[in-house]
Amino acid sequence: MLPLAAERWADGRSDLLQDELTAVVGSSHVLVDPALRAQYEVDWTGRWGGPARLVVRPGTPTEAAAVIRTCARHGTPIVVQGGNTGLVGGGVPPAGGEADATAVLLSLRRLDRVGEVDAAAAQVTVGAGVTLDRVHAAAAGAGLAFGVDLAARASATVGGMVATNAGGIHVLRYGPMRSQLVGAELVLADGTLVSRMGGLVKDNCGYDLVGLMCGSEGTLGILTQLRLRLVPQLPERAVALCACDDLGGAVELSTELFRRLPSLHAVEAVDRSGFQLVLEHTGLPDLFSETPPWTLFVEASGHGDVVDEVGGILGRLADPERVAVGTEPRQLATLWSYRERLTEAISAAGVPHKLDVSLPAAQLVPFDRALRAGLSQACPAARLVVFGHIADGNLHVNVIGPAPVDDELDAWILRLVAAHHGSISAEHGIGRAKARWLGLTRSAADIRAMVSIKAALDPAGLLNPGVLFGT
Ligand code: FAD
Ligand code: MLT
Ligand code: ZN
């Protein structure tokens, strides 16, 4: 039973907001009941979240603009959410009790229209709420492909992926979401709709508003539609899992593959602890007689005989006894599942301290060494899992054990990253999780410039307050 607005909000102004939003999207898309709101209020990891005043789900860009205009008129902050697969708390309200809930949570999942693929331009127009797997399906239906892929593809939306500038496993070939974007439609903080959906690859008329949205994490505007570039399908694929004796060996192999294998499509690394966690969680069979210190996942795709190409190169660079290769679609999927099910395996073991970082190639090994030494001294009982997109210098550091509310560990790891000349966010964003440490890898002048942009586009600070810059 929905609580009556008057019971929940004593002041007349709040009831008015709910009534006005209901007039825009209909009562079934304004969620007030805590049980209905619950799935929107906690993030994927279970570490971040808090109550929203209500959840509103517009069904069209025009409705989204009207919702934002209404909230702006009431001076009500908005938390923006897509598929809620983000890992830094940027799409959920801040922690607090029901009485602290001030923000409207704007869910964009209903903006889920997939347009016709424009085969001549190799582009497609999609609603911000379209999931990644539907973009892949649309591209495949037209004999094309989409350049970004990640394990949360069934839920992650393109709006959220642009807002975080998501990376994933194919960045080395196609770049992150930023490189796939040729246009966007967005709603500014006052409810104005701005459209740049012409799909022109070359179009230099002033500031790159579309580019600015990449990595803006819902703080500058609300994406409602995206125009995405598509890439050719590469029919031949091979995947190899290679055992490496240490991270240095994995980095070296990755570097050599990048130089010598033109069909290289992905290179991912998982440490022993991560691989074992996947085995424990999934029951998948071990592929090696003994789990190696590091496993490198290599994928090659192309038109020619990529299987021979990969086999030939790995035959020279790695010990063939310690390489598992797959070429059939089912084998490929099985081999990838050792990597793709890792995030789920970590969360099944506990609420992780999840730190997505990047480092210069030469600093990967020194950083990893310092991390393991420091952690085993400070937190000997903690379980550390390190994995990531090694060709991009991107490591995902996960620590299970320390209490989720304790952020001393996060601070220590992020300082270690800064000391090794890295970035505290490679692909997940800053969100609420890392806002207080933005200054570790961005200068004061840089942050001032970003704050000026935020103030110009959202002068009242209503879009995702607390995200990126903190409170
Ligand atoms: P949400 O989580 O809903 O929101 C993320 C951020 O975007 C928030 O700040 C939110 O306010 C903002 N936002 C959402 N929609 C909009 C919009 N329409 N307009 C403006 N702002 C918006 N990420 C990677 O980069 N690479 C990976 O390999 C990867 N793998 C993952 C694997 C798993 C199993 C999981 C659970 C997550 C993974 N992620 C990865 C993280 C996540 O999928 C990405 O951050 C994704 O881009 C978020 O999309 P979403 O729709 O779920 O956004
Ligand atoms: C990944 O690469 O699998 C993701 O970024 C998710 C994670 O860090 O757990
Ligand atoms: Zn990742």
pLDDT in tens, 299-330: 999 998 899 999 899 989 988 889 999 999 99
- Report the range of poorest mean pLDDT among 103-107, 139-143, 196-200, 402-406: 402-406
> How many angstroms separate the alpha carbon of residue 458 from the centre of ligand 2?
31
Q: Is residue 13's pLDDT more than 80? A: no
How much is the pLDDT for 304? 87
User: Is 0.85 surpassed by the pTM of this model?
Assistant: yes
Averaged pLDDT for residues 228-234:
97
Q: Which residue has the tokens 């081999």?
A: 335
Atom of ligand 1 nearest to the CA of 85: 52
Closest CA to 347 of 35, 45, 69: 45
Atom of ligand 1 nearest to the CA of 151: 32
Quick one: pLDDT at residue 271? Answer: 98
Percent of the chain's residues with pLDDT above 90: 93
Residue 14: the pLDDT is 53
Both tokens of 121, joined, read 């331009």
Is 1 a residue whose pLDDT tops 50? no
Average pLDDT over residues 129-153: 98
Task: Check pLDDT > 90 for residue 11.
Answer: no
> DSSP strand E in 200-349: where?
222-229, 231-232, 236-244, 264-271, 294-302, 323-326
Q: Residue 12: is its pLDDT beyond 90? A: no
pLDDT surpasses 60 at 10: no
Longest CA–CA span in the chain (Å) reads 74
Average pLDDT over residues 97-123: 96
| Distance from residue 190's CA to the centre of ligand 3 (Å) | 34
Averaged pLDDT for residues 145-171: 98
Q: What is the spatial distance between Cα 202 and Cα 113, in angstroms, rounded to a whole number?
A: 26
- Residues having CB closer than 6 A to ligand 1 are 44, 80-87, 90-91, 108, 128, 150-152, 156-157, 159-161, 163-164, 166-168, 217-218, 222-223, 343, 427-428, 431, 464, 467
Pocket test for ligand 1, best of 67, 81, 133, 392 (most atoms within 8 A of CB): 81
The single-letter code of the amino acid at 35 is: A
